[in-house]
Amino acid sequence: MARIAIVGGKLQGTEAAYLAKKAGMESLLIDHYEKSPALGLCDEFLCCDVLQESKELIDALNNVDFILPANENSEVLEALVKLADKYDYRLAFDKDAYAVSSSKLLSDQLIHENQIPAPQYYPNCKAPYIAKPSGFSGSEGVRKFDKLEELKQFLKTVSPEEKWVVQEYLTGPSFSIEVTWGV
């Protein structure tokens, strides 16, 4: 049976633990928070900080088939890349793909380049509008504006360094794609 280390136990870790269980994998959750939401779905739990290269962490990672980062903390991701390189661990993470998927601007560009139907960008659309910070996950920081005047007022408060995606607001189901595989 494949054994996976899931690093991060919030929403992404919970999804990963659920999918690992459905795929028949054993899972080890690694998180610095001892009351992590994914805790009840994993077979084993290690409470530690992956930024500290402890013997306990290395011993645990030596006993898994691969590591799945289930977080978007850049320091943690970089630490996992370094650990994987140093100890030859299999890490289910690609920096280039993550750079696209973690940016709403870059992922929208990819969607449009491939002619996948998507909401139109402001100002080429009508109210209501949705404004999303490009680098945040999921719905974090998302704002809805029912009127053009509200959106314009908001945009006056945003600094030029902040990258915001403003699009038409569409109603309907929302989908998320998660992928896991057997080893």
| Mean of pLDDT values over 106-116 | 80
CA 103 to chain centre: 10
Q: Model-level pTM?
A: 0.71
Q: What's the pLDDT tens digit per position in 45-90?
A: 999 999 999 999 999 999 999 999 999 888 999 999 999 999 999 9
The pLDDT assigned to 179 comes to 46
| Mean of pLDDT values over 138-145 | 82
Q: How far apart are CA 71 and CA 127, in angstroms?
A: 33
| Mean of pLDDT values over 13-35 | 95
Assign 183 a pLDDT band (cuts: 50, 70, 90): very low
CB atoms within 10 A of CB 31: 25
